[in-house]
Amino acid sequence: MISLLDAVNPYIHYFKGIRVSTRPDYIDGNVLITLKNYGVTTIELGAQSMNDEVLRANNRGHSADDVIRASKLIKSYSFNLGLQMMTGLYKATPESDIFTAEQFVKLRPDSVRIYPTVIMKDTVLADLYRSGEFIPYSLDNSVDLCAKIMLLFEDNNIDVIRVGLHYSKSLIEGSLGDSYHPAFKELCENKIFLNNILKSINNPETKDIIVRVNPSSVSKLIGQNKSNIKVLADLGFNLSVEKDPTLSKYEVIIENK
């Protein structure tokens, strides 16, 4: 840790600060004093789950209490706090994943990352998957779940800075099942807009509708490969999109044509 901080120290004035990521059980006062002295501004914790059974089943080596303790300590030293969670771990359920997100909200992090579990070849998880002991979420179910979790964080003014893993050839070639998608966050945002449109349609007998949305969100509303347009068309809706810069990121207003 010190060697890495020493390497970046001569350049610290070129940056707003240093962001580091570590385990919850590695945080104590001495570590935080050292990080503060070196100009670290943000500490992210690989919490992954707030369910102790899930943490034990996945050999994480820390507890939910470790996450709570470390988070409070980090904030007491005036660092920005980031929390990372993994959905769909071995022994996890959608309910336990929602519980994790709710516990994160109580800890008031400045940012979160959401990583759906990806099964990599030649791992214990792969063995559990092949044996049928581990049944992962389908991609559609994972998108539905993470869309709900994203909104939970957004509604509580917690910045979601990453959803899903960065694209890499090794992920494509080395993963099993359909748990990895290179544009996972976009799929979740598409789902958020589709759900918001369906909830906002007050008169289902009127099939010609106008959807007003923030200009920056038009492509997410339309969906990847026009997926949302196709779903609404299958339901009999003829959709027109109008840009409205006064609306927030996920807000939609429905009007009849």
Q: CA–CA separation, 129 vs 1, rounded Å?
A: 35
Render pLDDT for 68-122 as a digit per residue (tens, 0 to 9): 999 999 999 999 999 999 999 999 999 999 999 999 999 999 999 999 999 999 9
The whole-number pLDDT of residue 206 equals: 78
* Max intra-chain CA distance, the chain: 66
Q: CA–CA separation, 7 vs 22, rounded Å?
A: 18
The whole-number pLDDT of residue 177 equals: 87
DSSP 242: E
Render pLDDT for 227-236 as a digit per residue (tens, 0 to 9): 999 999 999 9
**Contact between 119 and 129 (Cβ < 8 Å):** yes
Q: What is the pairing mode between strands 80-87 and 159-163?
A: unpaired
Class of 189-256 in CATH: alpha beta
The whole-number pLDDT of residue 202 equals: 74
Q: Where are the alpha helices (DSSP H) in 25-183?
A: 29-37, 52-57, 64-76, 94-107, 124-131, 139-155, 169-174
Q: CA–CA separation, 140 vs 233, rounded Å?
A: 20
**Contact between 21 and 46 (Cβ < 8 Å):** yes
Contacts (Cβ under 8 Å, ≥6 apart) of 66: 24, 25
Torsion angle in degrees (nearest 10) through CA of 121, 138, 158, 68: -60
The whole-number pLDDT of residue 212 equals: 96
User: So where are the chain's domains?
Assistant: 2-182, 189-256
The whole-number pLDDT of residue 179 equals: 80
Tens-digit pLDDT string for the chain (257 aa): 999 999 999 999 898 889 999 999 999 999 999 999 999 999 999 999 999 999 999 999 999 999 999 999 999 999 999 999 999 999 999 999 999 999 999 999 999 999 999 999 999 999 999 999 999 999 999 999 999 999 999 999 999 999 999 888 888 899 998 888 999 999 999 999 999 999 988 777 778 999 999 999 999 999 999 999 999 999 999 999 999 999 999 999 999 88
**Contact between 86 and 142 (Cβ < 8 Å):** no
3-state secondary structure of 25: helix
CATH for 2-182 is 3.20.20.70
> Among 79, 89, 95, which residue's Cα sits nearest to residue 47?
89
Residue 212 one-letter amino acid: R
